Structure formats: structure tokens, C-alpha cells
Amino acid sequence: MSLDTALLYLRKNQPRYRRWLEDFLRIPSISTDPAYKGEVRRAAEWLARRLNYDLHAHVQLWDTPRHPVLFAHLPGEITAPTVLLYGHYDVQPPGRSQDWHSMPFEPVIRDDRIYARGAADMKAQIIALMAAADAARAAGLPLNIKFLLEGEEEIGSPSLPQVLRERRSHLEADVCLNPDAGMAGEDLPSVTYGLRGLAAFELRVYGPQEELHSGMYGGAMPNPIQAAIQALSRLHDAQGRIAVPGFYDDVVPLTEEERKILAQIPFPTEEEAREKWGIVAYTGEPEYTPLERTVARPTLEFHGFLGGYVGAGSKTIVPSSATVKFSCRLVPNQEPDTIHERIRAYLEAHMPAWVKWELEYLVGAWPVLIPLDLPPVQTLKQALADTWQKEPLLVRNGGTIPAVAFLQQHVGVPSVLTGFALPDCNMHGPNEHQHLPTWEKGMEALTRFLFYFFERGKGV
Ligand SMILES: [Zn+2]
């Protein structure tokens, strides 16, 4: 049993892992669209076959009301520690096909990058976990390895809490290794110690049952777009702070030490942002840096506004409804349910009394801060440092991975987070891609983690 044997095996088997990745990327496992339910299942079954035939793992598919959860187990020595490897095999919808340079579900390699929906988020990361486990096992490492692969992350993991409660005994582990957090830049290996949570909403405001002539009724008829704008415009103040009373009450303040850690993470300057995205200026809380606003401060973001007529020319009507989607990214120790109550109360106070409306609470997920002195965090830092020959960055990520808080709450398993998706990989957008040399290094780092974790945990 040696790490060198495992790393050699890993290198020899690269073509095989590449084929796995390409096959996996061809399955359009879009969890949000019911039309793809069968494809999501096909992705789970494909993984089950690889884990069973190629890794010789014991595999179970657990059905849920939506998409199955895959559990796999590679038993090691009874006294050895247990690591749980997390991944999600579902992907976002590809969006408009004309925005893609190649077909989203037919992987293409250009300039050392593989292009396909789900390449970075997170099919390549799942294959990297499987490759690391394969290499560790081939080299005889008697670590207990479990896989938890879900198909609902991109829709907020709605089935996961119940699965975790019911299958707790299967999932018990010393740590969960989660590579869904990405890295801060090429050659900047990163350990993520913070994630934002989420509370997502849909607001529907109603005017007359059908749209009406604005010349005949405008002036007396309640306009739902006007009402929505009136209420929603109160959610932020002129500086971009969120004006909902109590919104910031539970936010853990940033310490000076943490601000120093965060200042090392690269982020586009305002000048670069103008160039790159064609914006006028950054917005938000002026007392925080743009990076801090995106990873360590909460937000309230509008995602879509639908109502009335937006076709060519003018159509002078009083619309019958307005629909707005928005969500809050949350930071420790904000709770999604409390934020929901506060926003509802605030809208009740500010929505004009002359319209009917409803607010739907779509999904809630808890924010996460992982203690930096957690031993597996040190193990992960070591594995990344030995692979890249440089100290990894400690980063907070503005995104949300609901499973991290759920695993802690329902199974008592802490997570450590990393990943090998680069910031420019366009996850969720068109032309998503994974940088292959970084992916291959990532496999090495994960393999090292498994060995170091076994060594440190042996006999504990
Ligand atoms: Zn992801």
C-alpha cells in the first residue's frame, strides 16, 4: 500500500477516466425540467454501473419523490476512518442553443478544456472522486470510502434532508469531502471554508382578471406591475443595503483577520469588470470590498420580472398580473425561515392595499462556516499543497451547497470543501467547460487526501 503506487495507477488510467467523463457528459441530467426525469435517472444508473463494475463498490439507489440518491460503499479495515465523498450528478438546463459553440451534451475538447453542460459543475469533479477512490483501492488503501451522489442539488436538494434522516446509519462518516466549491484561479488551489445559504421566492401580484384597455379603465383599475414595483423598490436603500427590518440581525461580523484572508482572493477590479461585462459600476454596501459583498455579506437579488406586454411597439393595457422571482443569499447565522418571515411581513406593510398578491417561498438552505482548525481541513490543505507545490488559498464562496449544512444537521458529519472548476468555467451559463490539466491535478490531490486522511485517522 503506497501513495506512489496509487499516483502511478492514476496516471496510467487517465484515458479511462477521460472516457468516463465523456460518457457521463452525454447524459442530459437536467433536474429542474420534468421532461428529463428519465435522463436524470439514467445518469444515476450510469454512475451505479461504474461504481459497481469498475470500483467494485456496493451500490444502492434510493428513490425519492423526484430524483434518486446513489449510495456506494467500499469497505476498508474495520478500525480505519471513514470518508464520505459527496457529489451531485444533476445539471442546470443548457439555456439558448445559439449561445453555445458546440452541442451542450456532446463534449468537445478545445485548448485543454472540455466543453459541455455539467463539465465543471460537477461531473468532472465526480469522476475525479471516483478516480481517486479507484486509485486508492487499487493501491490497497484500506480506508472506508462511501459515496453520496444526489440528483437535486441544482434545485435546492429538496429530498435530501429526509433521505439523510432515514439513512443516517449508512452515511455515518468522520468527514465528508465535497469538491463542488471550485478554485480561486488557475494554479490557485483553494480550500473553501464558507458558503452562503439561500432563501428563494416568487411574488405574484394580481390586477383585473383579464387585461383591460388603459384608455377606458386606466386611472381607476389597479395595476399589478405598479404595485409590485412600489413594494419591491422598498427592499433596498439608495446605497444597496437591504432595508427589511431585522435582515442583518443574525449576521456574524467579519473579523479583521478574516478580512485579511479574503483580501488574498482574486476578484476583478471595477475597471476590469467594466471591460469584461460592460457594466457601469459595482453596487452594494460601500463599507465592504466587492469580493466581501459577494462571499461574506447577504444579498437580495431579483432574477426575473414578468407581466403585461413587452412585444414590439406599444399595447396600451392595464395588465392582469405581475410575477417576480427573487432570492436572498444568506451568511452565518441567518436562517432562511426567519428571513422568509421578515420579508413577508415587510411586503405586507408595503404592498398597496388595492391589489391581491401572494408570496411563495420556493426553497431555503442554510449558510455554512467550517472551523479552520478542523483536522480534515489541515489534511486537505496538505494534499493540495503537495500537489501544486504551493500553499492553498482559504476562500469563502458566495454560492450555496445545501448538502453541507444538511449533512451536519441530520447526520452530524462535517464537510471539507474544495474543487477544480476555474472561475471562468461558465458554470450555469453557455459554453461551460472544465480545464483538463487542473482536473488531472485535482485527482492527484484527492488521492493524496485519502491517503493522508487514513494515516492521520488510523487507530483513532
Ligand atoms: Zn454544483
User: What is the chain's alpha carbon radius of gyration, rounded to the nearest angstrom?
Assistant: 24
Contact residues for 16 (Cβ-Cβ < 8 A; gap 6+): none
For residue 356, the CA-to-ligand 1 centroid distance in Å is: 37
* Residue 358 CB neighbours (<10 A): 9
For residue 451, the CA-to-ligand 1 centroid distance in Å is: 25
CA torsion through residues 411, 57, 23, 37, sign: negative
Q: What is the DSSP string of 395-426?
A: EEESS--HHHHHIIIII---EEE-----TTS-
Q: Check residue 457 and give its pLDDT.
A: 78
For residue 128, the CA-to-ligand 1 centroid distance in Å is: 14
For residue 411, the CA-to-ligand 1 centroid distance in Å is: 21
As to burial, measured by CB atoms within 10 angstroms (0-12 exposed, 13-18 middle, 19+ buried), residue 428 is middle
For residue 339, the CA-to-ligand 1 centroid distance in Å is: 24
* Residue 195 CB neighbours (<10 A): 31
For residue 287, the CA-to-ligand 1 centroid distance in Å is: 30
Q: Check residue 459 and give its pLDDT.
A: 46
* 180 contacts 121 by C-beta, under 8 angstroms: yes
For residue 379, the CA-to-ligand 1 centroid distance in Å is: 23
Rounded CA-CA distance 19/107 in Å is 11
Rounded CA-CA distance 440/117 in Å is 19
Beta bridge partners of 242: 236
Helices 37-49, 14-25: axis angle to 10 degrees equals 160
Contact residues for 274 (Cβ-Cβ < 8 A; gap 6+): 280, 281
For residue 206, the CA-to-ligand 1 centroid distance in Å is: 35
* 40 contacts 26 by C-beta, under 8 angstroms: no
For residue 88, the CA-to-ligand 1 centroid distance in Å is: 7
For residue 122, the CA-to-ligand 1 centroid distance in Å is: 5
Beta bridge partners of 315: none
For residue 256, the CA-to-ligand 1 centroid distance in Å is: 30
Residue count of the chain: 460
Rounded CA-CA distance 446/383 in Å is 7
H or E segment to which residue 36 belongs: none
Q: What is the DSSP string of 53-113?
A: IIT--EEEEE--SSSPEEEEEE---TTS-EEEEEEE--B-----GGG-SS-TTS-EEETTE
CA torsion through residues 29, 118, 196, 380, sign: positive
Rounded CA-CA distance 356/351 in Å is 9
For residue 33, the CA-to-ligand 1 centroid distance in Å is: 17
For residue 401, the CA-to-ligand 1 centroid distance in Å is: 7
Q: In the chain, what are the domains?
A: 3-195+367-457 (3.40.630.10), 197-251+298-364 (3.30.70.360)
Selection from 88, 74, 82, 78 nearest residue 133 by Cα: 74
Give the 3-state secondary structure percentages of the chain, helix then strand then coil, rounded to 5: 40, 20, 40
For residue 49, the CA-to-ligand 1 centroid distance in Å is: 22
User: If DSSP codes are grouped into helix, strand and coil, which group holds residue 360?
Assistant: strand
For residue 156, the CA-to-ligand 1 centroid distance in Å is: 10
Rounded CA-CA distance 111/436 in Å is 9
Per-residue pLDDT of the chain (460 residues; tens, 9 = 90+): 799 999 999 999 999 999 999 999 999 999 999 999 999 999 999 999 999 999 999 999 999 999 999 999 999 999 999 999 999 999 999 999 999 999 999 999 999 999 999 999 999 999 999 999 999 999 999 999 999 999 999 998 999 999 999 999 999 999 999 999 999 999 999 999 999 999 999 999 999 999 999 999 999 999 999 999 999 999 999 989 999 999 999 999 999 999 999 999 999 999 999 999 999 999 999 999 999 999 999 999 999 999 999 999 999 999 999 999 999 999 999 999 999 999 999 999 999 999 999 999 998 999 999 999 999 999 999 999 999 999 999 999 999 999 999 999 999 999 999 999 999 999 999 999 999 999 999 999 999 999 999 999 764 4
For residue 211, the CA-to-ligand 1 centroid distance in Å is: 41
For residue 459, the CA-to-ligand 1 centroid distance in Å is: 34
Q: Check residue 1 and give its pLDDT.
A: 73
For residue 40, the CA-to-ligand 1 centroid distance in Å is: 15
For residue 193, the CA-to-ligand 1 centroid distance in Å is: 16
Apex 440 CA angle, 399 and 398, nearest 5: 10
